[in-house]
Amino acid sequence: MRRPSLRGPLVLGAAGAVETWRPTGGPAGAPAAVELRGVGRTFGTDPPVVALRDVDLTIAHGDSLAIVGPSGSGKSTLLNILSCLDRQTSGTYLFDGIDVGELDDDRRAVLRAHRIGFVFQSFNLLAHRTVLDNVALAEVYRGAPREGRRERALEALDKVGMTHRADFLPTRLSGGEMQRVAIARALTGDPTLMLCDEPTGNLDSANTASVLGLFDDLGELGLTIVLVTHEDDVAAHARRQVRIVDGRASEAGA
């Protein structure tokens, strides 16, 4: 189902009023959250290093996907392209029906601010700001007014069960708690897509289990999640698994 925050496709400026989409996955008439068509990424020219070749991938709204593979296989490159931090060198990437390749840096920043939530392996919390401030930081680059920001941040903390730590500094939290805060930050503002880069890579087994349980719950609620991992038991929590080897993607069970 469409999440309530997705109020129709983006209307873009002179860069191109692109509303090209194919109704693949999701309810009829709505674009998929992510659609990659023949996406490749090559670094350098002498000699060129091919990190991704010809990846086709469609992720419907509400789906969850794990990207697995050995290190150096191109997982991170794929994630960077999905997150609009990097650009593909070939192929087409439609995000919510928008051809991201046509967007300039500023438009991509807007897209990240409003529709993509990030969860990092090392949490990336600002050490000198309270948990609440860290979560609220997600709204700073939306140009949103401050009214209600605290309430929205508390709401996000509530979803990960961390309201009791709202006024703590991150340095006083355990790893699992820090990752929960980071997830709350990614959840703020109901993004289309939550991208997680090795979210359990720095956690012990107990915290890993707890964070993965949280992902399961969020998946149940209909959040679209993509997580990159090299651990199969983590990947098993996603409905779909895509394995990347030498820059080529193949879906398990496909």
Partner 1 sequence: MRGLRRRPREDLGPRMTPRDLVAESVAGLLARPARVGLTVLGTVIGVGALVATLGLSKTAGNQIVGRFDALAATDVVVTPAARAGGSSARVIPWDAEARLRRLNGVVAAGTLGDVDLRGELVRSVPVNDPLVAGAVQLPMKAASPGLFQAVRAQVSAGRLFDRGHSQRADRVLVLGRNAARRLGVDRLDQQPAVFVGDRLFSVIGLVDEVARQPSLLGSAVMPQGTARREFGLAAPRLAQVETAIGAVELIGRQAPVALSPSNPRLLRVAAPPDPRQLRGEVQEDLNALFLLLGGVSLLVGAIGIANVTLVSVLERVGEIGLRRALGASRRHIAAQFLLESTAMGLAGGVIGASAGTLVIVAVSAGNTWTPVLDPWVPLGAPLLGAVIGLLSGTYPSLRAAALEPIEALRAGT
Instruction: Return residues touching partner 1 (CB under 8 A).
Output: 7-8, 10-13, 17, 80, 83, 85-86, 105-107, 109-115, 118, 120, 122, 124, 126-129, 133, 137-138, 140-146
As a whole number of angstroms, the distance between CA 217 and CA 183 comes to: 12
The β-bridge partners of 228 are 67, 197
Between 195 and 242, CB nearer to partner 1: 195
Select 83 or 224, whichever has its Cβ closest to partner 1: 83
- 129 versus 243: smaller Cβ distance to partner 1: 129
**Cβ nearer to partner 1, comparing 58 with 83:** 83
Of 40 and 117, nearer to partner 1 (C-beta) is 117
Instruction: Quote the least distance from Cβ 226 to partner 1, whole Å.
Output: 14
- In one letter, which amino acid is 119? V
For 2, 38, 52, 126, 227, the CA distances from 31, given in Å and listed in that order, are: 10, 18, 24, 35, 21
Q: What are 36's strand-pairing partners?
A: 57, 93
Residue identified by tokens 């679209």 is: 224
Least Cβ distance, residue 57 to partner 1 (angstroms):
20
Task: Determine contact, residues 35/88, Cβ cutoff 8 Å.
Answer: no
Torsion of CA 135, 140, 144, 145, to 10 degrees: 80
Q: How far is the CB of 236 from partner 1 (least distance, A)?
A: 27
> How far is Cα 167 from Cα 151, in angstroms, rounded to an integer?
13
Pairing state between β 64-68 and 224-228: parallel
> Which lies closer to partner 1 via its Cβ, residue 14 or residue 254?
14
Least distance in angstroms from the C-beta of 53 to partner 1: 20
Taking the mean position of all CA atoms in its chain, how far away is CA 231? 18
Contacts of 7 (CB under 8 A, 6+ apart): none
Q: Which is nearer to partner 1, 80 or 179 (CB)?
A: 80
* Closest approach of partner 1 to the CB of residue 124, in Å: 5
Structure tokens at 88: 């593909």
Whole-number minimum distance, CB 108 to partner 1, in Å? 9
Q: Tell the smallest beta-carbon distance from residue 7 to partner 1 (Å).
A: 6
Bond prior to 199 in cis (omega within 30° of 0): no
